[in-house]
Amino acid sequence: EDCWRRAEAITSTAPGVFAELRAAAEAAMATGVTHRIDLLGTIPTPALLLHGNPELGSMVHPEDAERFVQTLPRARKAYLPSAGHNLHREAADEFLAEVIPFLDRAGW
């Protein structure tokens, strides 16, 4: 079931999305921005970065999460050590314990 859900999500992504991402990356590099995260400093909206344990499959490493919160003016991070990449499935209670208060504080 999980494999079908993932395959469906991947194959339902419009191909143009990847072309747009590549074009944005190329434009950023042409202006001297070599890391996409540098572009994030202009975002005034509150942001929450949830990340799991890299040893369990998380794609976000602690130093990257720290850079994220240092770059965005209104960002915060939360580490879910018992989860890897699929935080909402692997640590649902901890995921909700971070997301719901964040959304409440942001007024969403």
- Give the H/E segment covering residue 75: strand 75-80
Most confident of 22-26, 33-37, 38-42, 74-78: 74-78
* Mean pLDDT for the stretch of residues 26-53: 80
Q: Which residue stretches of 31-107 are H helix?
A: 36-39, 62-71, 87-90, 92-106
Exposure pattern of 58-78 as b/e (b: 16+ CB <10 Å)? bebeeeebeebeebbeebbbb
Q: How confident is the model at residue 27 (pLDDT cuts 50, 70, 90)?
A: confident
> Rounded to two decimals, what is the model's pTM?
0.67
Both structure tokens of 83: 């989860």
Residue 10 has pLDDT above 90, yes or no: no
